[in-house]
Amino acid sequence: MSTPSNLLKEAQTMSNADSPTLLRPSLEPALLAECAKLKTLMLYDETAGFYFWPNVATMESPDYESQCGICTNGAKLIAQEFGAYVAGYLIHPEDPQTLVGADVYGHDFAVVGDFIIDWWGWEYAGSLEIPVISSAKAIALGKYKPAEAWEVHPDHDFREQFWRGGE
């Protein structure tokens, strides 16, 4: 698994032609840096038995929203940072077990343009080699359901707020 510093180095030296995500070079390092930042901020609560992000201003009650093991939480942090949204879907027993989140019966992730940013699938579940992947590639690889199966979480859609200047 990549370390945060290795991820940043890879992002900074990667040309667009070499990029597995095909993101604009200026955006890809920022997305990877945000995922690396989330990784470095994680702390472990030995009493409660889970990883969490301390003092994360964007998280509100209930308390479980700071836990790293809940896919929606990392997706929300990334979506807020980049003026994006959180999408997800339920996974049923008849669905392919290759889907990220199949073992927990559903999954949420951030969507930035035509790309999936999946901190949880990368760092927490270990289902991805890199947290930034084009939607088309992710679907073709069988890691995600087709976009028409995604549900956008209205409370975690920051596109309009971001483009209005954060009002």
Q: What is the pLDDT of residues 128-166, one digit of tens each?
A: 999 999 999 999 999 999 999 999 999 999 998 755 555
Select the more confidently predicted residue: 96 or 14: 96
DSSP code, position 120: I
Q: C-alpha distances in angstroms, 111 versus 9, 82, 94, 120?
A: 23, 9, 25, 13
| Strand pairing report for 50-52 and 43-45 | antiparallel
User: Alpha helices, DSSP H only, in 21-147?
Assistant: 28-41, 71-82, 119, 135-140
Q: How confident is the model at residue 16 (pLDDT cuts 50, 70, 90)?
A: very low
Q: Please give the Cα distance from 113 to 136 (Å, whole number).
A: 12
Q: What is the pLDDT of residues 74-124, one digit of tens each?
A: 999 999 999 999 999 999 999 999 999 999 999 999 999 888 999 999 998
